[in-house]
Amino acid sequence: MTLKQSLKIGVASLFMAVAVLQPGQAQVPGVTRDSIKIGSFGALTGPGYLYGKLPMNGIEVVFDQVNAAGGINGRKLELVREDDRCDPAAAIGGVKKLIHEDKVFAIIGGGCSNATFAARETLIEAKTPVIIMASVHDGITTPVSPTIFSVALTSTIESQAQLQFALDQGAKRIAVISMRDAWGRARYTPLIEAFQKKGIKPVLDEEMAPDANDATAQVLRLKAANADAVLILLYPKPAAIFMRDAQKLGFKPLAIGQSGIADPAAFEDQVGSPGATASFRTISMVRYTPEDPAVDSWRKAIEAKFPGDRLSVFNLFGIGSAEVMVEGLKRAGPDLTQEKLVAALNSLKDFQTAVYPGGITCVEADHRCNKNPAWIAKEPGKPVRVLGITKVE
Amino acid sequence: MVLLTYLLLSGLTTGSLYALIALGIVVVNKATAVINFAHGELFMFSGFVAWMLHVQWGVPYLPSLLAAVAFGFLLGAMTDLIAFRPLKNANIISLVLATIGIAFMLRGLARVVWGGKGDYLPFPPITSPEPLMIGDIMVIPQQLAVLAGAIVIMVLFAAFFRLTRAGKMMQATADNAKAATLTGMRVDRIYMLSFGTGAAIAGAAAALMAPLTLLYPDMGFAFFIKGFAAAVLGGLTSLPGAVLGGILIGVIEALAGGYLHSSFIEVSAFIVIMFVLVVRPTGLLGFTGVRRV
């Protein structure tokens, strides 16, 4: 080998070594010079697809817009989807696949609470930054994990907001009707704590089974207690039975739901008794209904990318969470690392999105970044409308 | 007093529906000595048939109810043909498993046909949903209509069972199937008639119940449990016992929910059942199979 050849090989080796070692991004999972791979998990099939597939569709239209504008620091966003079917085991498996096989940089996901809660430990171990898009279970964000952020309302925040809304509406005799299964208790316990913090007691505290077919006894007791507002911690089906029986028995309190009954129009149909839901109010994670002209551009984007789909409130969940991720990625800068993304998300303070009712604020001690439920209602024969926003401290 | 009146009316209404479900269970059990675990799904399916006719196709309520009864009868007869007749000489576990299989099949079919149209389907009220005031007492026309309908069905069934030839043959087969065979009765047909009649009563109960609650494909088991509890309370071999058991459970649930707490609604009836069965294992009106010779 001549000196010239040796020099050529030496220079080539040096370049190769630089190519391998120099760009830190090569060692960062899911990041190349021109792309960032973001994972998502949630139900793509089965009835839970509302909380999985539809938000993911929303994420994709945000990513398309960002990519059309040149990406983030020259990198295009790429979404990888995993179907957890709302099943805890499938969620754990899906998250492992995203992290270890697809090697995603970060995740926006989490539809059904039970599945997301089951995947929490896997997410914490992998230290992959995560933004929860729809799951409300408190256990996902509490105790705080350094890498898990949520832009979904949690059940505690919703319960506090329910009580606050009742008080803001001037209710003096507030009662509770709840299910006492795991879902119901996750809301009931913080609600009772919220009552205690305010120094008040519910005038009546009633129970209803998830498969109950009659609520006459509960309605009669609430009516006898002269409750002027009822905080409803029920699934849509028992809540619909309750509203029907309340109407039958002439009991018309302010009925205050939560995001388990997120669509007042569908709820009105389910109750199926004209006028029975006239005084029903419920929580929405976003400040617009799908019919609102303010979300026309999103409607067009969804309908163009997913022909046959109509804009849904669940699409908006995905749009909001994707906007937060995009902002985090921008703030993390061109030399992208997962640690920088986590730091960037922790720096979000009153960040305004196109859909959430209030600003998104994340701090290291509290990753429940959305604490601003919107209140929506539907009067008979009229469209769903947004009544206002409650800020939960 | 006013609260008691409301609760009693509500309890009687719900209880009369439990009684109808229990009647169907007892009719089949008396004839075949088998508990039909698909009974709740036969009830559910008939309810959806009534919904489809009345809500989707605009058929008036009464013909929809009659169609649900007829459809229930057909489904019951098919249950006999598929799950009972081929296995009637097999052990009881095989028979029970066969009816459970029918239950799952019907539930799956209902999910395919009626699932995905919203989580729960409402059935419009058959009377005004607004309460009526009679003096100080509030009366709910919807509940009165359902209660009256349930009483009519019970009376019709009693007349059928006691006065018609088919009803008498069902009684004879229930008393002694071998003797009935020896007298020339085609016992297989009687079994089919029993399954059909039981399911027809469930169909009537479903069409009556639908305006009071919501329909969903998984609703059958919850109602079956209540009907079964009513049948056990009354005595699994007694038709009047089934009616008594159903009404008692409905009234106990309503009174416990109204006067104690709503958390007692689901458990109160079962506490009473446990107590009754300790004191009287055959149920309130049941009897053991002792024969005079």
pLDDT of residue A8: 63
**Alpha carbon B262 to chain centroid, angstroms:** 24
Which of B14, B44, B120, B268 best probes binding to A when mutated, by most A CB atoms within 10 angstroms? B120
Alpha carbon of B220: minimum distance to chain A alpha carbons (Å): 11
Q: Give Dmax (Cα) for chain B.
A: 61
Between B7, B124, B213, which is nearest A213 by CB? B213
Instruction: Give the mean pLDDT of chain A.
Output: 91
Q: Is residue B120 part of a domain?
A: yes
Alpha carbon of A255: minimum distance to chain B alpha carbons (Å): 18
Q: Is residue B44 part of a domain?
A: yes
pLDDT of residue B288: 64
Contact at CB, B120 and A270, closer than 8 angstroms: yes
pLDDT of residue B289: 56
Chain pair A-B, CB pairs under 8 angstroms: 102
Contacts of B206 in chain A (CB under 8 A): none
Between B131, B138, B222, which is nearest A211 by CB? B222
- For residues A153 and A166, give the distance between their C-alpha atoms in angstroms, rounded to a whole number: 18
Count of structural domains, chain B: 1
pLDDT of residue A48: 78
Looking at the predicted structure, is the pLDDT value of residue A23 above 50?
A: no
Contact at CB, B140 and A221, closer than 8 angstroms: no
pTM, full prediction: 0.79
Poorest-confidence range of A13-22, A141-150, B120-129, B156-165? A13-22
A381 class by beta-carbon count within 10 Å (0-12 exposed, 13-18 middle, 19+ buried): exposed
ipTM of the complex: 0.78
pLDDT of residue B66: 96
SS3 of residue A252 by DSSP: coil
Between B130, B138, B258, which is nearest A217 by CB? B258
Which of A180, A206, A216 best probes binding to B when mutated, by most B CB atoms within 10 angstroms? A216
Residues 190-229 of B with CB under 8 A from A: 209, 212-214, 216, 219, 222-223
Q: Is residue B9 part of a domain?
A: no
pLDDT of residue A22: 46
Q: Is residue B27 part of a domain?
A: yes
Average pLDDT over residues A89-108: 97
Looking at the predicted structure, is the pLDDT value of residue A12 above 70?
A: no
User: What are the tokens at B113?
Assistant: 């046909």
Q: What order do you get walking across the sheet with A148-150 strand by strand? A: A76-83, A35-42, A106-109, A130-132, A148-150
Query: Residue A293 gets which letter from DSSP?
Result: G
Q: What is the pLDDT of residues A236-282, one digit of tens each?
A: 889 999 999 999 888 999 999 998 888 888 889 888 888 899 999 99
Query: Comparing C-alpha atoms, which of A35, A49, A132, A124 is closest to residue A84?
Result: A49
- For residues A37 and A20, give the distance between their C-alpha atoms in angstroms, rounded to a whole number: 20
Alpha carbon of B195: minimum distance to chain A alpha carbons (Å): 26
B54: domain range? 17-218
Query: Comparing C-alpha atoms, which of B72, B50, B70, B74 is closest to residue B61?
Result: B50
Query: Residue B33 gets which letter from DSSP?
Result: S
- For residues B224 and B41, give the distance between their C-alpha atoms in angstroms, rounded to a whole number: 8
CA distances from B7 to A97, A249, B2, B129, B139 (A): 56, 11, 9, 17, 11
- For residues A170 and A191, give the distance between their C-alpha atoms in angstroms, rounded to a whole number: 18
Contact at CB, A216 and B265, closer than 8 angstroms: no
Alpha carbon of A225: minimum distance to chain B alpha carbons (Å): 12
Between B120, B253, B254, which is nearest A240 by CB? B120
Looking at the predicted structure, is the pLDDT value of residue A18 above 80?
A: no
- For residues A280 and A184, give the distance between their C-alpha atoms in angstroms, rounded to a whole number: 19
Domain boundaries, chain A: 27-153+292-362, 156-284+375-389
What residue of A is the nearest CA neighbor of B126? A273
pLDDT of residue A110: 95
Beta strands in B130-264 (DSSP E): 132-134, 137-139, 214-215
Alpha carbon of B16: minimum distance to chain A alpha carbons (Å): 14
Query: Comparing C-alpha atoms, which of B230, B192, B185 is closest to residue B40?
Result: B230
Query: Residue A154 gets which letter from DSSP?
Result: P
Q: How confident is the model at residue A3 (pLDDT cuts 50, 70, 90)?
A: low
pLDDT of residue A25: 46
More confident residue, A94 or A19: A94
Assigned architecture for domain A156-284+375-389: 3-Layer(aba) Sandwich (3.40)
Residue A316 near residue A195 (C-beta atoms within 8 A): no
Residue B243 near residue B25 (C-beta atoms within 8 A): no
pLDDT of residue A24: 43
B6 reaches A (C-beta below 8 A) = yes
What residue of B is the nearest CA neighbor of A272? B122
pLDDT of residue A47: 67
- For residues A339 and A342, give the distance between their C-alpha atoms in angstroms, rounded to a whole number: 5
- For residues A271 and A244, give the distance between their C-alpha atoms in angstroms, rounded to a whole number: 6
Domain A27-153+292-362: CATH superfamily is Response regulator (3.40.50.2300)
Alpha carbon of A176: minimum distance to chain B alpha carbons (Å): 12
Q: Is residue B60 part of a domain?
A: yes
Beta strands in chain B (DSSP E): 121-122, 132-134, 137-139, 214-215
CA dihedral A49, A52, A55, A60 (to 10 degrees): -110
Contacts of A272 in chain B (CB under 8 A): 121-124, 214
Q: Say what percent of chain A tops pLDDT 90.
A: 75
pLDDT of residue B121: 86
Q: Is residue B40 part of a domain?
A: yes
Poorest-confidence range of A65-69, A98-102, A134-138? A134-138
Q: How confident is the model at residue A45 (pLDDT cuts 50, 70, 90)?
A: confident
What residue of A is the nearest CA neighbor of B264? A207
Which residues, 6 or more positions from B135, have their beta carbon under 8 angstroms from its beta carbon?
A: none
**In chain B, which stretches have pLDDT less than 50?**
292-293
Contact at CB, B214 and A209, closer than 8 angstroms: no
Which residues, 6 or more positions from A225, have their beta carbon under 8 angstroms from its beta carbon?
A: A173, A175, A203, A204
Between A224, A236, A248, which is nearest B119 by CB? A236
Average pLDDT over residues A306-318: 91
What residue of A is the nearest CA neighbor of B251? A217
Contacts of B143 in chain A (CB under 8 A): 248
Contacts of B263 in chain A (CB under 8 A): 180, 207
